[in-house]
Amino acid sequence: MTLKGYPYSQFCHHYRRFQRPLDLVMRQEHKTGEKLFVDFPGQRHPIHDRRSGEVAFFAELFVAVLGALNYLYAEAVSP
């Protein structure tokens, strides 16, 4: 029996076709109320003063999610 491989370009083509329909979500199972996931997801956002329109301060976003329930809590906080 002879095994025949693909040239690199054909391998990349077939791999891209295989990869397209894949769902990139990582599923995790948890008991209800067992875990709380928290994060500060990144950039600071400007908070503007209503009267002057100037940037009053920069706030970070705090996010918390209960594992199995998908309850979300988000709050802008200043450092």
**Identity of the amino acid at 26:** M
Dihedrals phi, psi of 52, to nearest 5 degrees:
-90, -25
Helix (H, G, I), strand (E, B) or coil at 48: strand
Write the pLDDT tens digit of every residue in 12-69: 888 888 877 766 777 777 777 788 889 998 888 898 999 999 999 999 999 998 877 7
Helix (H, G, I), strand (E, B) or coil at 3: coil
Which among 27, 25, 34 has a CA at the least distance from the CA of 66? 34
**pTM > 0.75:** no
- Domain boundary assignment for the chain: 8-77
